[in-house]
Amino acid sequence: MDINTEKTASEAIRYRRSVRIFKEESLDTEKVKECIRLATLAPNSSNMQLWEFYHIVSNDMLRQVSALCMDQNASKNAREMVVFVVRKDLWKKRAKANAENRKRLFGNKDFKEYTKREKSGINYFTKVMPVLYMDFFGILGCVKWIVAQVAGIFRPMYRQVTQSDMRIVAHKSTALACENFMISMAAIGYDTCPMEGLDSLRLKRLLKLPYGAEISMVIACGIRVPEGIYWPQYRVPFEEVYHAK
């Protein structure tokens, strides 16, 4: 389903604010779902797509999720909510899916028939990803870290190889999906508020998530009322954060 975009990307970015009070007006759930679909198009590390999205639409679930978000104004007023979940624990499944996709793209040939470039594209997911994501109580991560630091003495080297590093990578990718979602919502005149103040353990239980899943954030959704934006937007002067080299 295509969304009739009312704003350009630049307009949507400028329009987006964290809104904490919404109109008592229902959202078109299919439009919100399409914005979640657009979230899946966000750039992400190695195309691993280590994320899941839980679209909260029933009144009962909205009340329960709001309670676990400490009943913040944004959660209490939300018409719908989306829980963005990091699934680093699915790395094997997603790596396999990527490898199989590469094989289909390259013609599903016998491996020796692939070109050097095609073999490299497949091996990236069958050999490189296991090296990066596989760990055993942090022990392998420490070994990989030492190897990376030693190799880095002699040449540029990727150094974020520990279990904690890869967890951060997965969260960064999911955060990019969150931004895609919020800008897509803003483009059609819907508002959002990202929330990190929540009881992640209880929320995982409510959503029946496995141990390895992690909550990135919950995004409240609705249509703003003027008082839903608490104050004028403030940003640090651009000159303080922009550096040309």
Q: Report the pLDDT value the prediction gives residue 3, as an integer from 0 to 100.
A: 45
Q: Report the pLDDT value the prediction gives residue 220, as an integer from 0 to 100.
A: 98
Q: Which amino acid is at 75?
A: S
CATH of domain 9-88+165-229: 3.40.109.10
Give the C-alpha separation, 200 to 103, whole Å.
Answer: 38
Torsion angles phi and psi, residue 130, rounded to 5: -60, -40
Give the C-alpha separation, 46 to 160, whole Å.
Answer: 14
Q: Report the pLDDT value the prediction gives residue 144, as an integer from 0 to 100.
A: 92
Q: Report the pLDDT value the prediction gives residue 132, as an integer from 0 to 100.
A: 94
Give the C-alpha separation, 56 to 79, whole Å.
Answer: 9
Residues 6+ apart with CB under 8 A from 90: 50
Give the C-alpha separation, 159 to 152, whole Å.
Answer: 8
Say if residues 166 and 148 touch (Cβ distance below 8 Å).
no
Select from 238, 223, 181 the least CA-distant residue to 53.
181
Q: Report the pLDDT value the prediction gives residue 192, as an integer from 0 to 100.
A: 98
Residue with tokens 């990066």: 132
Local structure of residue 40 (DSSP, 8 states):
T
pLDDT digits (tens, 9 = 90+) for 78-115: 999 999 999 999 999 999 999 999 999 999 999 999 99
Q: Report the pLDDT value the prediction gives residue 5, as an integer from 0 to 100.
A: 57
Question: Is pTM, for the whole model, over 0.85?
Answer: yes
Give the C-alpha separation, 211 to 199, whole Å.
Answer: 15
Q: Report the pLDDT value the prediction gives residue 136, as an integer from 0 to 100.
A: 85
Q: Report the pLDDT value the prediction gives residue 42, as an integer from 0 to 100.
A: 98
Q: Do the strands 214-222 and 51-56 form a parallel or antiparallel pair, or are they unpaired?
A: unpaired
- pLDDT tens by residue, the chain, 245 residues: 344 558 999 999 999 999 999 999 999 999 999 999 999 999 999 999 999 999 999 999 999 999 999 999 999 999 999 999 999 999 999 999 999 999 999 999 999 999 999 999 999 999 999 999 999 888 998 999 999 999 999 999 899 899 999 999 999 999 999 999 999 999 999 999 999 999 999 999 999 999 999 999 999 999 999 999 999 999 999 999 999 99
Residue spans of the domains in the chain: they are 9-88+165-229, 91-161
Select from 95, 149, 157 the least CA-distant residue to 126.
95
Residues 6+ apart with CB under 8 A from 166: 88, 132, 133, 135, 160
Give the C-alpha separation, 24 to 79, whole Å.
Answer: 8
Q: Do the strands 214-222 and 191-195 form a parallel or antiparallel pair, or are they unpaired?
A: antiparallel
